[in-house]
Structure 1
Amino acid sequence: MTSQPFNKFRIMMKFTMVTSVLFCTVAANAQTWHFGVKADISYSALKGEGIKNKFAPGFQAGGFATYNITKQWAIQPELLYSFSQYKKGSDFLTYYNNYGRSAAGENISLASISVPLLVRYNLNKTLSFLAGPQYSYLVWDDESLLKNDRQAFRNSEFSANIGVQVNIEKVGFYARYNKGLSDINDIDDRYEWKSSHVQAGVAVRFQ
């Protein structure tokens, strides 16, 4: 658990600016790439013993690049700042009595740098489908679940994305589902915690 909370909006804006510069640099050196920025509202839930399996709001922001292989097929890597919220279950100490803090707060907040690598299929100019794996690295957490300030969540997570996007000129409106494939419970090996995320947002292509 980090000792000093940070301003989430400020961090998001800085990350978005850095990501935009990165993708602009890529585009300037390789004109076959298209690039842009995106942001979405994300509802996240965590399934596992000692955790409430209930969706709570969060967000994502960052940039993307698209490389068109054919008129219909493309590769779309993304670089995102992801903020998710979860809730501790009332039965947490039932499962983690040896490690858990009796005075632990209910709210859990996690921030990660996420890198989806998506395959994009353009049915036509308006409608696209996307799917692919994602790697996320935990960069900040605000939770007090365990004794001695021990971190309850693993730093790395692998997940899978599937989604659809409606394109109007250079603006895309998308909906996406992200399913965690790896266990992010770092307390012990007895129980698994796996995440789910439902996302809806806007992507703006600059080139």
Structure 2
Amino acid sequence: MTSKPFNKFRIMMKSLMVCTALLGTTFLAKAQTWHFGPKFDANYSTMKGEGIKNKFSPGFQIGGFAEYNITKHLAIQPELLYSWNSYKKSDDFLTYYVNSGRSAAGNNVNLGTVSVPLLLRYNINNFLSVLAGPQYSYKIYDDEDLIKEGKEAFKNSEVSANFGFQVNLSNVGFYARFNKGLNNINDIDDRYEWKSSHIQVGIAVRIK
């Protein structure tokens, strides 16, 4: 665990290279049927659970998406993203984790994950689309010191559900989504559950 800015940047760049390589392989194999492009959004995250503030904090997502049209109105849209999620420790953290928590722990918690949403997209018309589907996220970096002896407070894997809409203007889409965590990501003990929520507002550009 480290909070050095250089390590944050290095991990983010490695994740972006993985996104680019994996998406590029898929698109080259089926370039005639798939559309694809980059996307970026502001990602506001909060956590519901004992010891964590249920308050939205800003982060971001960056990566790429693919789009395969099944019919005129229906498409599938897989994505590969690097997500930076920020949370806040609550003032009563040690009330719940008195034996394992660090009294000198910082208030800010930052998690970096590789996220893979698999969305079903319904195009109401040429202007407006609705998207929904599951997402799997894997933690590749954390910046928190909540627990003694350098142990990590958060589980590596998270499954969540996405729902949102997108306004389409030619090859540019402006979207808003709500992402709800479905599994408990508290790795301290089994007494209390932590489940995340995210509000995401961003832009996607179709380049093919």
Q: Do both proteins adopt the same fold according to a TM-score greater than 0.5, normalized to the shorter chain?
A: yes
Q: Could you tell me how far apart the structure 2 residues matched to 1:93 and 1:70 are?
A: 54
Cα shift at 1:182: 0.5
Q: What residue ranges of structure 1 are gaps of 5+ in the alignment?
A: none
- Asked if 1:29 is matched to 2:29, the reply is yes
* Structure 1 residues 152 and 170, CA gap change in structure 2 (3 angstroms): same
Q: What residue ranges of structure 2 are gaps of 5+ in the alignment?
A: none
Q: Could you tell me how far apart the structure 1 residues matched to 2:84 and 2:188 are?
A: 21
Give the match for residue 41 of structure 1.
Answer: 42
**TM-score w.r.t. length of structure 2:** 0.94
User: For 2:15, what is the secondary structure of its paired residue?
Assistant: helix
Cα shift at 1:4: 5.5
Aligned length: 206
List, as ranges, runs of 4+ consecutive aligned residues in structure 1 with deviation greater than 4 Å: none
Please show how residues 47-126 of structure 1 align to structure 2 within 5 Å.
Answer: 47-126=48-127
User: For 2:178, what is the secondary structure of its paired residue?
Assistant: strand
Cα shift at 1:29: 1.7
Q: Could you tell me how far apart the structure 1 residues matched to 2:23 and 2:99 are?
A: 47
- What are the Cα deviations for residues 169-188 of structure 1, in whole angstroms up to 9, with x where unaligned? 11100000000101000000
Q: Could you tell me how far apart the structure 1 residues matched to 2:155 and 2:5 are?
A: 20
Give the match for residue 131 of structure 2.
Answer: 130
**Cα RMSD between the aligned structures?**
1.4
- What are the Cα deviations for residues 141-174 of structure 1, in whole angstroms up to 9, with x where unaligned? 0100010001000000000000100111111000
Q: Could you tell me how far apart the structure 1 residues matched to 2:124 and 2:177 are?
A: 17
**TM-score w.r.t. length of structure 1:** 0.95
Q: Could you tell me how far apart the structure 2 residues matched to 1:17 and 1:108 are?
A: 25
User: For 1:57, what is the secondary structure of its paired residue?
Assistant: strand
Give the match for residue 15 of structure 2.
Answer: 15
* Structure 1 residues 3 and 20, CA gap change in structure 2 (3 angstroms): closer
